[in-house]
Amino acid sequence: MKVLMGAVAAVIGLVVLALLAVVGVVIGDDDASAAESTSASGGLKGVPAEFSKWILKADEACKQQEMTPALLAAQLWQESKFKTSKEEATSEAGAQGPAQFLPSTYATWARDDDGNGEASLWDVGDAVMAQGRMMCSLLKQAKSSGYPGDVRALALAGYNAGWYRVQQYKGVPPKRFAKGETFNYVQIILSTMPRFQGPSLIQVSGHGSGADALRKAVGRIGTPYAWGGGGPSGPSKGFCDGTNGYLNGDCVASSTTGFDCSGLTQYAFAPKLKLPRTASAQYGATSDRPVSRSDLKEGDLLFWSHGGSGSIYHVAIYAGDGNVVQAPRTGRDVELAPLTSAMPERDYYGATRP
């Protein structure tokens, strides 16, 4: 985007470009809603830590299968080389931040994703999530357009030049447009993607209720924890009960869309298996199929109780190789964690096979 903006602005002016950059983009919350995705099937490499978390979140929030972490990473590299300073990440045409948004375009996609009280195109989290939302919408529009070619290329061209240019040429603008800058932008990003494609976060093999549930839970890594949130149909806003759902004294669960531990397991096993809502009830519903710690298989449910013998307070899904997928606590996200440190070791209660 950065390169093209300078060239086009010289011809038609920055104000006109800013207006046209968003023409034809379809906006819809359903485009960027959390849904089962392929984010966990593709990791990242060569990406700064402060970007990696948000790239995975942005990918996980988009239900378009063509969206991948490597696509977003390669695009960010082309836009800013992961730079965040105003000196290094401001183009001649006024595009700003690591995702190189014009302020007028950013306003369409801006949210305070990092929760610092400001939706800023200079904040890594806010910028990357806005990039993901815009690309998600463009991918959806590219798929429905009927234009020939890779839908990722069409979406990238729309991000760079504005969707109206894709409509004008009924595809990626040719090399003669803007001296080939959009054409080259698309080609460079698509060819750079393998550089950032890391190993899978989790290799889930086989089928059956356990493997399928694990695969589904893995797709939610990065989704926020919300006390009382989530269920068979997916994440939802939680609630505070006087004790749980608070962070630094504030009730955050009621404004957070996500999962708590048992909401995540309900979602993972639905609709094939209808688990009860709480961790304790889920243990009760599956306790007739206990599994020893030495015989754990992918998809088994693991439980923790206070002191290892009191009331059950937590449930997670075994992910193999000594790891679990879990929604840990308020202020955290669904994560892959070692079994030995997912919760206090002394609290481990046992496992069942749903």
133/58 Cα distance (integer angstroms): 7
169/147 Cα distance (integer angstroms): 9
266 assigned to active site? no
**Mind giving me the DSSP string for 63-104?**
--TT--HHHHHHHHHHHHTT--STTTSB-TT--BTTTTB-HH
Cα→Cα distances 50→38, 79, 82, 126, Å: 21, 16, 10, 12
Distance from the first to the final alpha carbon of the chain: 49
Alpha helix ranges (H) inside 118-225: 124-145, 151-161, 163-169, 181-196, 209-218
The alpha carbon of residue 249 and the mean position of all alpha carbons in its chain are separated, in whole angstroms, by 27
240 assigned to active site? no
The catalytic position among 141, 197, 282, 314 is: 314
Q: Which helix (H) or strand (E) holds 300?
A: none
The catalytic position among 261, 266, 282, 306 is: 261
291/264 Cα distance (integer angstroms): 21
Return the SS3 of 222.
Answer: coil
Give 105: exposed, middle or buried? Use CB within 10 Å, 0-12, 13-18, 19+: buried
261 assigned to active site? yes
351, 322 contact by CB (below 8 A): no
**For residue 187, what are its two tokens?**
């080609």
The catalytic position among 64, 78, 266, 326 is: 326
274/213 Cα distance (integer angstroms): 12
230/133 Cα distance (integer angstroms): 22
Give 188: exposed, middle or buried? Use CB within 10 Å, 0-12, 13-18, 19+: middle
Backbone angles phi, psi at 130, to 5 degrees: -65, -40
Give me the torsion for CA of 9, 15, 17, 21, rounded to 10°: 150
Residue positions annotated with a catalytic role: 261, 314, 326
